[in-house]
Amino acid sequence: MNPRHEILLIEDERNICNFIVTTLKTQDYKVDFAVNAVSGLSLAASGCPDLILLDLGLPDMDGIEVIRNIREWSNVPIIVISARTQEKEKVEALDAGADDYITKPFGTSELMARIRTALRRSALSGSTPLSAQNKYTAKDLVIDYEKHIVTVNGEIVHFTQIEYKILTYLSRNAGKVITYDSLITHVWGPFADSNNRILRVNMANIRRKLENNPADPQYILTEIGIGYRMIDNENL
C-alpha cells in the first residue's frame, strides 16, 4: 500500500505540470504544486512535503537557488526535472543539494522509480541512518559492512582498501547520483586532485571484479560526465 506520501511539484509549464500531477494522483500520491519559486518555497515550508519535484527554469528564480534555499533548513528529497542537458548544470544542481536529476522528456516509469528510490532512502535515514545499516543487498551482490566482506553469487570478492571505500560510499547512497568530485573528496580527501583519472581506473577494477560484463554494468551505473549511481533494490 502506498502510505500516501505528499509530493510538491514546482513547475511553470502547465502541460507538464498537469501531466505529472495526474500521473502522481493515479499512483495514489498526494500532490501539491506551484508555478513559481516563491510559491513553491512557501508550500515547501508550510506543507512539509515528503519529496519535491523541481524544474530549474522557473520564471522568478533559478532552480539552483531554490535548492540552496531549501537545503538551509530541510533535508527533504529533491528530484530535479529539467530540460537543461548540460553536464555542468546537472553537477551544479546535485552539488547544491539535489538528490537526483531527470532530463526532459522522461518516461513515467523512470519518474516513478526515481521517486520510490528517493522516498525509500528518506524513510531509512529517518529511522536507522544509512550509515548504520549493516548490509547492502542488490541482485546477487551483498556488502557486509561489519565484516568488510563482499560477495557475488555467494562467492567472496576481494577489493583493495580504496576500491572497498568507493564501493561502500556508493552503496550507502544507493539510488542517488554521486558526483565525481564528491566521490574523490570522500575517498582521497578535500585536497585531492580533481582529475578523475584515478577514480576511473579504480572503477574499472571494481567493475571487472563485480560484473559479468563490465561494459554493461548492472550494479554501478555511470551518469556520463557527472558521476555514478549504485542500483537500489527499488529499481530491480
Confidence of residue 126 (pLDDT cuts 50, 70, 90): low
Judge if 113 and 218 occupy the same domain. no
Judge if 120 and 175 occupy the same domain. no
Judge if 99 and 201 occupy the same domain. no
Judge if 205 and 153 occupy the same domain. yes
Stated pTM of the model: 0.68
Cell of 227: 558521476
What is the pLDDT averaged over residues 68-85?
Answer: 89
pLDDT computed for residue 134 by the predictor: 83
What CATH number is attached to the domain comprising 231? 1.10.10.10
3-state secondary structure of 125: helix
Judge if 43 and 109 occupy the same domain. yes
Residues in the chain: 236
Q: Give me the number of domains the chain comprises.
A: 2
- Beta strand pairing status for 78-82 and 100-103? parallel
pLDDT computed for residue 195 by the predictor: 76
pLDDT computed for residue 124 by the predictor: 67
Q: Which of 32-36, 86-90, 209-213, 228-232 has the lowest mean pLDDT?
A: 86-90
Neighbouring-strand partners of residue 221 = 229
Judge if 220 and 117 occupy the same domain. no
Q: Which domain-ending residue is among 108, 127, 146?
A: 127
Domain span at 45: 6-127
pLDDT digits (tens, 9 = 90+) for 205-224: 999 999 999 999 999 999 88
Residue predicted with more confidence, 234 or 26: 26
pLDDT digits (tens, 9 = 90+) for 8-47: 999 999 999 999 999 999 999 999 999 999 999 999 988 8
Judge if 111 and 142 occupy the same domain. no
Residue located via cell numbers 520510490: 116
- Identify whether 28 is part of a domain: yes
- Identify whether 1 is part of a domain: no
3-state secondary structure of 229: strand
Judge if 54 and 121 occupy the same domain. yes
pLDDT digits (tens, 9 = 90+) for 46-63: 888 999 999 999 999 999
What CATH number is attached to the domain comprising 10? 3.40.50.2300
Kindly state the DSSP code that residue 71 receives in the 8-state scheme. Answer: H
Judge if 207 and 142 occupy the same domain. yes
What is the pLDDT averaged over residues 100-126?
Answer: 86
7: left (phi over 0), alpha (psi -120 to 50) or beta: beta
131: Cβ contacts below 8 Å, ≥ 6 apart: 172
Judge if 11 and 109 occupy the same domain. yes
Name the strand (E) or helix (H) holding 187.
helix 180-188
